[in-house]
């Protein structure tokens, strides 16, 4: 049974930082595409970042508004993907969801087989 779990959300002031983690069980993170999405109240779900590839070659992509502020990384020894978020803005608030094993489409727009429950990020202005 595959499970994906997020952690690390919380309340932060604008300009602050948070580090989210996505840990999987029953699935090897290094073998699949893993992505972060966010869902804000009243808005469509948005692709934040994704990572895929083997240790010899890793590929990464970011949503436009995250470039330069967010960094995704993978720790295969802990079967975990991290999302470091810096210079957070009120518009970054929402539920951040981790997804694993892309089934189709591009990594920020495609469908995924496994989803976590999400972790809340709140940014105060």
CA dist 9 and 82 (Å) reads 12
Task: Provide the pLDDT for residue 7.
Answer: 98
Contact between 39 and 92 (Cβ < 8 Å): no
**Burial of residue 79, with CB atoms counted within 10 A of its CB: 0-12 exposed, 13-18 middle, 19 or more buried:** middle
Task: Provide the pLDDT for residue 55.
Answer: 65
Contact between 102 and 52 (Cβ < 8 Å): yes
| Predicted confidence (pLDDT) per residue in 53-73, tens digit | 976 899 999 999 999 999 999
Q: Which residues of the chain have pLDDT under 50?
A: none
Q: In what order do the strands lie in the sheet with 3-7?
A: 3-7, 18-25, 80-85, 70-75
């Amino acid at each position: 049974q595959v499970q994906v779990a997020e952690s690390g959300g919380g309340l932060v002031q604008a300009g602050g930082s948070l580090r989210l983690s996505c840990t999987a069980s029953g699935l090897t993170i290094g073998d699949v595409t893993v992505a972060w999405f966010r869902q804000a109240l009243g808005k469509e779900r948005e692709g934040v970042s994704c990572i895929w590839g083997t240790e010899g070659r890793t590929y990464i992509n970011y949503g436009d508004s995250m470039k330069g502020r967010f960094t995704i990384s993978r720790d295969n020894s802990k079967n975990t993907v991290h999302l470091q978020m810096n210079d957070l803005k009120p518009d970054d608030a929402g539920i951040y969801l981790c997804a694993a094993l892309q089934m189709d489409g591009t990594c920020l727009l495609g469908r995924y087989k496994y989803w976590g429950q999400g972790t809340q990020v709140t940014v105060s202005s």
